[in-house]
Amino acid sequence: MKSRKIIIFTIITSILFLAIPQKSSAQMYVSAQSAILMEQDSGRVIFEKDAYTQRRIASITKIMTAILAIESGKLDKTVTVSSTAIKTEGSSIYLQEGEKIKLEDLVYGLMLRSGNDAAVAIAETVGGSLDGFVYLMNQKAEEIGMKNTHFANPHGLDDHEDHYSSAYDMALLTRYAMNNDTYKKIAGTESYRSESSNDKWDRVWKNKNKLLTSLYEYSTGGKTGYTKRAKRTLVSTAEKDGVSYIAVTLNDPDDWDDHINLFETAFKQYKMVQVLEEGEIKAVKDKFYKNKIYLKSAVEFPVTKKEEDLFKVEYKLTKLKEDWQRNQEDVPEIVGEAKIYLDDKLVDSVPIHFKHAKNKETKSFLDYFKNMFMAMTGVGKDG
């Protein structure tokens, strides 16, 4: 009887224990109002929380300011600092009116120290005016696909009501920017020395991003932000074993720890697998296309162990035209797309290219001699 009671007690205890939510070490969670974790190469969203809501973003705005400055091709240009720039409120690199400084140094001051004065000086140089630069910002946002974003200034201060973005959009922007080697270098710089133009002193800037400078060994860059209305905002990037992630949090009182948790969980749970090989597509049996279509690069995708066998690939090819059979030179470069499905959901598509035969002109010695003779005698020349 006593042993029976012990067994019943054990069963009840086990059921109650299982009913209690267990906090897993591999669980993703954030304190932020909005957040996202995106894999850099594929763009796969690993984690999201209210990621499409429009919110104030503070100084992570400066990622757009930086990439526009870099893409302007004017980094070597010497900028004369205006009175408007030095009067900008908030965080500063303490520029002086009339000071001459390279645009490249301004971008470092913008990203490492979050200089609002640097943001205005950059905007005036690249856009011709603040309004001109804001136009460029929104034009680039539209180009990238940032559908829940509107920029009204180059720094993120709360001086406009119509300045906002979303966690998802900021991840898109960062993914775009991180494909630029110059941006990647600047965002991942821990400290930078800006040489003085007046021989008084050099400025030395240490990056405000603590993940990069001290907290997280796999950090590769990012941008911090804070205003009274936006609260703490943070974009950060990390790479481990060739896999890169982008994390964005908006209004997050515990952003450093949240970003580390997101990265660490993703690095443990996900790995990159090759879905499609570079080169000739052998799965297509169509007589015309067989041995003539290929992918320019391999396709990899981040998945958990359980997802590895859930991929399907569908090849969509352009319907053949009659004249293609007679002359393959009429076949376009891109003749379709390979659609990749994970658990029956479309996750990526890549173009299928057609392999055209190379026309090799073979000239006989007689042709060579004939062309030389015509060149020497002037035959065949205009006039």
Q: Return the active site residues.
A: 59, 62, 114
Task: Calculate Rg over the CA atoms of the chain.
Answer: 28
The 3-class secondary structure across the chain, one letter per residue, is: CHHHHHHHHHHHHHHHHHHCCCCCCCCCCCCCCEEEEEECCCCCEEEEECCCCCECCHHHHHHHHHHHHHHCCCCCCEEECCHHHHCCCCCCCCCCCCCEEEHHHHHHHHHHHCCHHHHHHHHHHHHCCHHHHHHHHHHHHHHHCCCCCECCCCCCCCCCCCCEECHHHHHHHHHHHCCCHHHHHHHCCCEEEECCCCCCCCEEEECCCHHHHHHCCCEEEEEEEEECCCEEEEEEEEEECCEEEEEEEECCCCHHHHHHHHHHHHHHHCEEEEEECCEECCCCCCCCCCCCEEECCCEEEEECHHHCCCEEEEEEECCCCHHHHHCHHHCCCEEEEEEEEECCEEEEEEEEEECCCCCCCCCCHHHHHHHHHHHHHCCCCCC
Beta bridge partners of 351: 337
Which of 29, 30, 54 shows the shortest CA–CA distance to 165?
54
User: Which residues, including other chains, have CB under 8 Å from residue 65's CB and lie 6 or more apart?
Assistant: 110, 119, 122, 123, 133, 137, 154, 155
Residue 63 has a CB neighbour count (10 Å cut-off) of 27
Give the Cα separation of 265 and 257 in Å (integer): 12
Q: Is 129 exposed, middle or buried (0-12, 13-18, 19+ CB in 10 A)?
A: exposed
